[in-house]
Structure 1
Amino acid sequence: MECSSISLSDSVLYTSWNYSGERYAAACNDGSIQIWSRRNESGDAPFSCTCQWKAHNGPVLKVVWAPPEFGDMVVSCSTDGCVTLWEEVAEGDGDDTWRLCSHLEQSRTTVLDVQFGNCLSGLKLVTAGADGHVKIYETTNTLELKHWQLQAEFSSVPALKEGTGKVSCTAASISWRPPVDSIQRPVFVLGYCSSSQQVGPAKVWEFAEAYQRWQLLAELAEPNEKLEPVHHVSWAPNVGRPYELIAVSSGRAVSIWRLEFSSDSQGRISVSRVAHLQDHNSEVWHLDWDMSGMTLATSGSDGNVRLWQASFGGQWQQQGIVASMRES
């Protein structure tokens, strides 16, 4: 099967594929969301925009699909400070029709990222605001996704010294720990991009059942390390490893962190950096793991996608590169 090219307008700020890979959603600068789909089941037809609607009063920064067991649903966040959930409605004419399922009023602060988490206690949403605040919502009934309640709100950045002003972050990235079974442990990693080093490194947060609150589990940084703005974080799927892997792109480098949840004598997890990759020689903007969690893809301002794997000795090495058309 030949690959078909997709041309997107300059107004598209972000795209997200659904779990089947047959549809994707596009977040647009004019406040609208687009749904693109294949027109036949063979997979050889080009994509076409099957629906577009006004979703926000400002640019849409992220649009993300819900876990497939909850049907065709997307959540979006915007500079207007709102988070909206949209569900597809079946119509007899065969065209896509999407309707507002829920509107989560945030604040006047830009919402930089939003992600679903399907945990033991039910479906959750975590949002990251430009002011460094994190909000976590949960459904009261997973069969009725119109009603959400605010479960927790906390700051992911250290308290600022008096007179330094407020934190203003330009981007954020959230990644939940992928499920091992049908549901996952309530743990996620969050990183912020800001000119202020007070924002800190990417951080891992976990819901402590004993205390019924979210707590900081780990900070992904070496002692006395000069901190770079975090562009993207990605938690690797786990197919049987006794440890977890998290990739973090900050500045021009990608770090791969190893987390072992077995407690040590102080009751803390073990965190270590196992790779520091700098081959892009440019800002690294996006990371993505394959389904096995063994291959990492990275893309940067150089226009190239690089593929990484660990050797038997645990050394991460570049295994391939997809060069941009301008360099081919």
Structure 2
Amino acid sequence: DCDVGTFSNSHGGNYNVAVLSFSLCTGHEGPVWQVAWAHPMYGNILASCSYDKKVIIWKEESGTWGKMYEYTGHDSSVNSVCWGPYDFGLILACGSSDGVISLVTCSGDQQWDVKKISNAHTVRTFGCNAVSWPSGQKPNSIKRFVSEGCDNLVKRWKEEDGQWKEDQKLEAHSDWVRDVGWAPSIGLPTSTIASCSQDGRVFIWTCDDPSGNTWTAKLLHKFNDVVWHVSWSITGNILAVSGGDNKVTLWKESADGQWACISDVNKGFGLM
């Protein structure tokens, strides 16, 4: 319906009763594909992206949601938005079917700066589907994020001298990559990225190299249908996978480095 709705939950002193209030944010003129919350240290800020080529950043003040900023710099559907780690500042990555990734940064006093990565993913194959940042970064670390697209590629990007540059291509999929997720590091020396694809496969990419140049791909599982989404737990040790088979599966790595399915939610019914 082109709108963004937010729900708030208050107990009102009765912890057995949840009181839901609903707020409607109206501004898009097409289907809304994704929403993303900024870190709470910046207040209640929400970003949304749509088929209408727009990104809208919303902010709640005194219980009312309103537009904080509207970005209209893309020429096609904006498919994904993701906020960077809080210590990078208020920065939002936006991936579009026009093949461009935009980095939208609040420079203070509600002024926004935009940097674009042109031809990030091939536009003739419908561009970029998803973007993801790592969390739990060390102070003063290099800004990096990951993207994927209909060119079958996962790409890592880094900021260097104020400009965004391609850091590495990760190649393993044989069809459109549908989603990508960079796992929270929680202080571990290993970086981990999950990607899923139209080819039915989910790969786990790991890197123990401090320079971040050497990544190894391990096939998590070959599903019988397209895999739409991957999502990490807050601790980064459990991966949720959803796909065209109408299932959500949860995966965890064992002590010997093997990944195993620990839960299978089939059409709303949990199976262990």
TM-score, structure 1 as length reference: 0.74
Q: Does 1:84 align with 2:56?
A: yes
Q: How do 1:9-24 and structure 2 match up within 5 A? A: none
Tell me which residue corresponds to 2:255.
312
Q: Does 1:282 align with 2:230?
A: no
Aligned pairs for 1:82-161 (under 5 A) are 82-90=54-62, 96-118=63-85, 122-141=89-108, 144=109, 146-157=110-121
Given that 1:178 and 1:184 are in contact with CA atoms closer than 8 Å, whether structure 2 keeps it comes out as no
Q: Say if 2:78 and 2:95, in contact at 8 Å, map to a contact too.
A: yes
The alpha carbon displacement at 1:247 in A equals 0.5
* Structure 2 portions without partners, runs of 5+: none
Q: Give the Cα–Cα distance (whole angstroms) in 1 for the partners of residues 86 and 116 of structure 2.
A: 15
Q: Which amino acid aligns with 2:48?
A: S
Runs of at least 5 residues in structure 1 that lack an aligned partner in the other structure = 1-29, 91-95, 159-165
Q: In the alignment, residue 76 of structure 1 is paired with which amino acid?
A: S
TM-score, normalised on structure 2? 0.88
Percent of aligned pairs with the same amino acid:
26
Counterpart of 1:273 (choices 193, 217, 226) is 217
**C-alpha separation in 2, matches of 1:294 and 1:113:** 24
Paired residues, number: 269
Aligned amino acid, residue 5 of structure 2: Q
* Deviation (angstroms), 1:200: 3.7
Q: Give the strand-richer structure, 1 or 2.
A: 2
- Tell me how far 1:240 sits from its aligned partner: 3.0
Aligned position for 2:23: 51
Question: Hey, what's the Cα distance between the residues in 2 that align with 1:153 and 1:171?
Answer: 11
AA aligned opposite 1:79? Y
Conservation of the 8 A alpha-carbon contact between 1:284 and 1:299: yes
2:167 paired residue number: 217
Indicate the RMSD between aligned Cα atoms, in angstroms: 2.5
Pick from 74, 90, 110: which aligns with 2:46? 74
Counterparts in 2 of 1:261 and 1:128: CA distance versus 1, 3 Å? same
- Runs of 4 or more above 3 Å deviation: 41-49, 118-121, 180-185, 325-328
> How far does the alpha carbon of each residue in 1:208-241 deviate from its partner, in whole angstroms, 9 at most, with x for none?
2xx332121222224xxx6211111111111232
User: Residues 87 and 120 from structure 1, CA distance in 2 versus in 1: closer, same or farther, beyond 3 angstroms?
Assistant: closer
Q: Which residue of 1 aligns with 2:7?
A: 36
